[in-house]
Structure 1
Amino acid sequence: MELTLIIDGQQARLTLPEHQGQLVLGTGKPATTTAPHTTLWLKAGRLIGIDTLPAGKQADRFIQIQPGWDVEVGYLAQRFSDVAVDRGSVKVPFLTGTVPGHLVPAIDAFVDQIMVVLQALGFDQLFAKPVKKGPAKAQHRWRKELADVAFQVAYDDSEATVYWQKRNEMRIEKGATLRATARKNKDGSTGLGERMGERIRLEHAAAIDGTTTTEDVVLKSVNEVGLFLYFGGTNGWLQLKNNDGVTLDALSVVE
């Protein structure tokens, strides 16, 4: 496909071959035109509106499509709205009309051609499905009244009594039972939890006899406690429980 490009200030005009129309790309608002057109409004490379912007939305770029005489712009806009829904980039369609069945093949062929051009121009995220943000990592705060609370761990063949005695000190009472071996990855390789757990155990080898601790062991964090006792692999804040069964997470999380 051979395109003709003209750049005028903040706008670029691409002419499609065989009188199939033009694309006008730019920032701000497109210049006034009497040519039939459909406008895609973008924000950070993603489609946020077709022809009109939803209330409260601001675009940073536009793509104005001026098709040839044989493509009805109203139906073209509707098909772009359908594409956005089909690809999961929006749940609520921008437009709710329909395209007559006998016109769909021609409209779709033109849409496919425009998509090829936009992909080549770097607009690969135009109809991308939004990436869901994971939940924010919980924050925990040490308090003096927690220092004397005995928290029990009974998880994955390990048992221990643990005290959060200072902000950066977790003390595991002697007599703790350690998980003997770590589980391997699905492919049989050694996992990160095993490597880190073995390193911590090696640092405190003098306090370990087999799978039992003979002395108190002081570590720096809940994460280290989990790696030391059972090679990690779970949320340690939920495994530490007081005598009433309340987790350390519930007692220390910052709302």
Structure 2
Amino acid sequence: MLMMAIVSLFYTPYDPNAMNAKDKFLSPSWSHLLGTDNFGRDILSRILQGSRTAFYVGFLAVGIGLSGGIVIGAAAGYMGGWADEALMRIMDAMMALPGILLALMLIAVFQPNLTNTIIAIGVMAIPGMSRIVRSGFVQCRELPYVKAARSIGASHLSIMFRHIFPNIMSPVIVAASLSFSGAILAEAGLSYLGLGIQPPDPSWGRMLNEAQSHMSRAPWYTLAPGIMITMTVLGFNLLADGMRDKRDPRG
């Protein structure tokens, strides 16, 4: 999937947005390997460019979720007390609202476009990530190596990010991989609803929306983006499972 996104930077068989009315609903053939859509656009070219969109959204949204989650979770887990209570109650309030509804609310307040989609998906990933980071800090903050660092005068920031954080990287990496698949699925869902990537730019979710009314006439139009979403999300879930198993010392 990543290779498809890289290849799309340099090559697509056709212009993904080029319309050709006389080539509408062509079935898969050697000239159009995945057929054409209701505007005569090459579906393979749009799938390739859609993979670039999916990875772009995934990387940036997970980056936002990781950054916010690490800062909030580290502060809450290390300081404890009222700071931990206040920060976690805010995260609980965010988690009480389903993530997709939170993203819909943010996009409804602003206008639907790529940037706002990334920000909305990133924000909805922060609560879960912060809880994972906090859990690791709570487990490690009273361990002997942390007390030793404290006794030699290490600063709080040094203890948090030089001593504790490297030791909780395993669950954070697994969570980031799962968040990546979640971000791709959320982007596809928002684009399917018309609140994510806007036409004519291709998105797998948007392609599913456009194909819905033509399922009986052009089933290949529905299958291509649907299979891509399924394979990518499943792939990253399996990657997260494999990383978790490999990094689990008890395994």
Higher helix share: 2
Q: TM-score range by the shorter chain?
A: under 0.3
Larger CA Rg, structure 1 vs 2: 1
Higher strand share: 1
